[in-house]
Homo-oligomer: A and B are copies of this chain.
Amino acid sequence: MKPRLVLLRSLCVLLLAALAAVAQDPLPSWNDGAAKRAIIDFVRTTTDSSSSNFVPPEQRIAAFDQDGTTWVEQPMYTQIVFALDRVVELAPKHPPWKTTQPFAAVLSGDKAAMAKFTMKDLEAILTAAQTGMSVDEFQAIVKDWIAKARDPRWKRPFTELVYEPMLEVMRYLRANGYKTYIVTGGGQDFVRAYAEQVYGIPPEQVIGSAYELQYTYNKAGQGVLMRPSKLLLNDNFSGKAEDIYLFTGRHSKAAFGNSNGDQQMLEYTQAGGGAPLMMLVLHDDSQREYAYGPAHGLPDSTIGTFTQALYDEAKSKGWTVISIKNDWTKIFAWEK
């Protein structure tokens, strides 16, 4: 072949390779930038057997917070919406609720009173909504609700308010041998009801807050697991680091969060050494989603609080802050 033709052929090969690389972009909903680069570098480094930071396949664990990290958490955590709906549904069986707080406020739709609910009020509502039944009954209740409920802003099922860029990260990690876990302050059994369908994550890879279980027998003498009202695991703050270890006996190699409740999970991921990936989603897009912080001068929020102190820790420790506004070309799969 003539030298010029050889050159042309080489160019074509390069071009095809480049096109293939573009076609295979594992993170198409991400703008090119530090965040996308951090994810791709992490996967390359930890799956390259010649790298000193290579992670053997069996140790590849990635942990994702849910509320505010993989789906929308404003204006109210989805699980709280579920619990409020359920209080309304159960009210006929509990006449005293009409005159007992916090239930009375929920039943009369008193939004001013509900906005002032304390943590204790919310716990009372969550307990009333989520305990006293068998684990199988609870799964059925959540599945039924999640199929019917709609969020107030987009009028869509909550399961469609999942962040497409994070689904891409999950798929990309799994394609590279990572086991993806949800590690949520929300209820473990609540999330398990839809995690397989929504995230492709099986129930045994969902770690969350959990009530104690109680073994008993039904009328046919068969074993049944009931949900009494005593909390066993509070999977927030240090609980996230503790429960990942409790469930897996390992450090996660990548951890994704968005609020102060994820701090220790990211710290403990980093403490595992190697070249781990720690990322925090910053909600700074009031147009397409919500903007809250107060990190980076965003408005305060009691839901998904991301303080300036956490932001500073991220910067000082080399964690990557994901800007929804700048890093995500698309937030939801159904966006045009």
Contacts and interface: CB of A to CB of B under 8 A. Distances in A.
Interface string A230-256: 001000001001100111111000000
A214 B189 contact: no
Interface string A187-199: 0110010001000
A62 B225 CA distance: 18
**How many monomers of this chain does the complex have?**
2
Given A223-B241, A225-B242, A245-B135, A250 B203 contact: yes
B192 A222 contact: no
Nearest to A195: B249
A264 interface: yes
Contacts of A203: 248-250
A97 to B, nearest CB: 30
A9 to B, nearest CB: 46
Contacts of A215: 238, 241-242, 264, 268
A264 B204 contact: no
Contacts of A271: 222-224
A317 to B, nearest CB: 9
Interface string A265-300: 001101100000000000000000000000000000
A102 B323 CA distance: 59
Contacts of A223: 241, 264, 267-268, 270-271
Contact of A206 (B58, B222, B249): B249
A210 interface: yes
A249 B196 CA distance: 12
A213 interface: yes
Interface residues of A, number: 34
Contact of A210 (B192, B246, B250, B270): B246
Nearest to A269: B223
Contact of A248 (B58, B204, B222, B224): B204
Contacts of A188: 246, 249
A202 interface: yes
Given A213-B246, A215-B264, A225 B241 contact: yes
Contact of A58 (B202, B214, B267): B202
A303 to B, nearest CB: 23
A86 B177 CA distance: 38
B204 A245 contact: no
A270 B213 CA distance: 18
A217 to B, nearest CB: 8
B247 A204 contact: yes
A249 B210 contact: no
A271 B226 CA distance: 14
Nearest to A264: B215
Given A206-B249, A249-B192, A242 B213 contact: yes
A276 to B, nearest CB: 12
A182 to B, nearest CB: 12
Contact of A270 (B212, B222, B224): B222
A270 B210 CA distance: 24
Nearest to A226: B242
The list of the 9 closest CB pairs from A to B, nearest first, reads: A203-B249, A215-B238, A213-B242, A223-B268, A223-B267, A204-B248, A222-B271, A223-B271, A192-B249
